[in-house]
Amino acid sequence: MERCDPFTLSDAASRYLLRCQAVARADAGHVWPILDAAFREYGLPRFFRSDNGAPFASVGAGGLSPLSVKLVQAGVTPERIQPGRPQENGRHERMHLTLSRDCADPPARSLRAQALRFEAFRKLYNEERPHEALGQTPPAAHYAPSPRRYSGRLCPPDYPPEALVRQVKRSGEIKWRGRYVYVSQTLAGQPIGVEQTDEALWRVTYGPVELGQLRPQGGLERPRRSRTRAPGPSQNQTSGD
User: With 50 as the cut, is the pLDDT of residue 171 above it?
Assistant: yes
How far apart CA 112 and CA 101 sit, in angstroms, is: 19
DSSP 8-state symbol, 52: S
**Sequence-ordered alpha helix ranges (H) in 75-212:** 90-103, 111-127
pLDDT score of 86? 67
CB 28 within 8 A of CB 67: yes
pLDDT score of 3? 67
pLDDT score of 140? 97
Q: What is the mean pLDDT of residues 88-114?
A: 83
**Residues 6 or more apart from 155 whose CB is under 8 A from it?**
73, 75
How far apart CA 192 and CA 196 sit, in angstroms, is: 13
pLDDT score of 91? 80
pLDDT score of 234? 47
With a pLDDT cut of 90, the percent of the chain lying above it is 64
Q: How confident is the model at residue 229 (pLDDT cuts 50, 70, 90)?
A: very low
pLDDT digits (tens, 9 = 90+) for 57-98: 999 999 999 999 999 999 999 998 877 776 667 788 888 888
List, in order of start, the domains of the chain with CATH numbers: 5-149+235-240 (3.30.420.10), 164-221 (no CATH)
Nearest-5° Cα angle at 34, 31 to 40: 140
The predicted model scores a pTM of 0.88
Nearest to 61 by CA among 208, 235, 209: 209
**Residues 6 or more apart from 160 whose CB is under 8 A from it?**
193, 195
Q: How many residues does the chain have?
A: 241
